[in-house]
Amino acid sequence: MKWDTYKKTILGISLLSFLFILSLLYPLYGPKDLNKVVLFIYDKKGEFAGVPPMPPSSYFPLGSDRNGQDILMLILYGAKFTIISAFSVAFLRVFIGGMLGIIFSLWLKRILPIVTDFLLVFKIVPPIIMTLFLMRRVSFFIEDAIYNILLYQIIILVIIGIPSVLLTTSGILEELKGKSFTLSSYLMGGSHYHVLKTQFTPYIKSYGVLMFVQQLLSSLVLIMYLGVFQIYIGGVSKTEVHGLEILNSNSKEWAGLVGQNIYEFLRTPHIVLVPLICYFIIIIIINIIKKELEASMEIIPFGISLTKKKAKRKHTAKDHKKDAITASDFILQRDVTS
C-alpha cells in the first residue's frame, strides 16, 4: 500500500485495531465486575454521593448506568464483540456473495435473471425487518449457549447480506465483459476460468475491498437496529436492567448497550448517547476509509460516471503544472543563487 494514497485508510485501520486490542486485553487491566456499585455511592469523605445511574464525574469518566456499571469500562469491554461480529459478517458476506456472483455470471448465466427475481425479497423488504423476524428463535435466554447463539446470529446476518453482494458482483462482471480486453481474450479462445484469472482478478480485488467496507457499514447499522429491538449479538443474559423489565445484553456489545438502556434516554441521556456516539465514531472512520478507497479507484456510486471528465480535468491541471515555468528553469538565476 502506498502511504500517500492510502494515508487515511492506514490510520483508520490502525485506530480500529488499537481499539480491538485494547478491548481484548481488558481482563489484564479492567476490574472484573465493571466497577459495579449497586445501591449507594459515597465519595472519598464518606458522604452520600448518589445512586446509580451517575452522571459523568472524576470517578466515572463517562458516568454509570442503572446497574451501577462504569460506562467507560462497559464500552472498552464490549468493543471487541462489536468489531469482530461486524468484520466477520462483512467478510463472509463478501466472500460467499462474491463467489456466488462470479459463478452465476460466468457459468450459470442462463438462470441469472431468475435468480435476480428470486432475490426480490431482499430488494424490497428492508433488512432490519427480515433479520428481526428470522432471529426470533434466539432472542430469549438460553443457558451456556453464547457461541451457538453467536453462530446462529452471524449465519442469519450473512444470509441477509449475500444477495446484494451477489447482484453487485454480477453487475460489475457484466460491465467488465463488455470491455475490449475481455472480448479479445474470449475471441482468442480463453475459457471463463482463464478470463477470470487474468482479466477480472485485479478488478475483483479492488471492488472486493470496497464492497467489504460497504458491507461493514451496513452490518454495523443492522446490528445497531437490532439492539433497539432488544435483540443483542451474543444473546441476552439472565439479569435484568435494575428496576426495569429489560434483559441485559450478555456480551456488553455496543448495540446491546444502546438497546438495553433505550428507555432511559429522557432521564439520563448520557447512558444511551455514549455508546451511540462511539458507534458514530466507528462509522465515521469506516466512511472516511470508504471515501478514500472510492477516490483512489475513481468509482462514483449510483452509476453516474464522472471518471472521464475528472480524468480530463486532472490531465489539464497536471499539464499546467508541467508547463508552468518555475524559477529553477532559468539557468541564470540558478547560477546567481549558487
Partner 1 sequence: MIKRILYLPVRFIASLLGFVIVVNIPILLTFNGYQNKIEIKFHFFKEYVTSNIIWFTHLDEYPFIVNYLKGPGIEKYFYTMTIISISILIVILLGLFIATSIMLLPPSARNRFSHFIDFTTTAPDLLVIFLLQYLVMYLNRNFDLNIFQLYGGTESRPYFMPILIIVFLPTIFLIQHLLKEFVNEEQQDYVLLARSKGLPLRTIYFKHILRNIVPLIIIHLKTIIWFMLSNIFIVEHLFNIEGYSTVLQSMYGTRVVVFVVGLLLFAIPLLIIHVLSSIMIMYEKRKETTTL
Q: Which among 58-66, 86-94, 237-245, 301-309 is the span making contact with partner 1, rule CB under 8 A?
A: 301-309
Q: Which among 5-13, 40-48, 83-91, 222-230 is the span making contact with partner 1, rule CB under 8 A?
A: 222-230
Tell which positions 116-155 bind partner 1, by CB under 8 A.
117-130, 133-134, 136-138, 142, 144-145, 148-149, 151-152, 155
- Compute and round to an integer the Cα radius of gyration of the chain: 26
Q: Which residues contact 292 (CB under 8 A, 6 or more apart)?
A: 5, 6, 7, 8, 9
* Residue 256 to residue 240: CA distance in whole angstroms: 13
Binding residue for partner 1, selected from 207, 279, 289, 292, defined by CB under 8 A: 279
| Closest separation in Å from C-beta 270 to partner 1 | 11
User: And the C-alpha cell for 155?
Assistant: 449465519
Nearer to partner 1, 24 or 114 (CB): 114
Alpha-carbon dihedral angle through residues 28, 74, 131, 155, given to the nearest 10 degrees: 0
Residue 182 burial (CB count, 10 A): 18
* Residue 265 to residue 280: CA distance in whole angstroms: 17
Binding residue for partner 1, selected from 272, 274, 289, 293, defined by CB under 8 A: 272
Does position 267 interact with partner 1 (CB under 8 A)? The reply is no
Binding residue for partner 1, selected from 26, 77, 225, 232, defined by CB under 8 A: 225
User: And the C-alpha cell for 319?
Assistant: 499539464
What is each CA distance from 329 to 321, 332, 334, in whole angstroms? Answer: 13, 9, 8
Nearer to partner 1, 52 or 227 (CB): 227
Interaction site with partner 1 (CB under 8 A): 113-114, 117-130, 133-134, 136-138, 142, 144-145, 148-149, 151-152, 155-156, 159, 221, 224-225, 228-229, 258, 262, 265-266, 269, 272-273, 276-277, 279-280, 283-284, 287, 302, 304, 306, 309
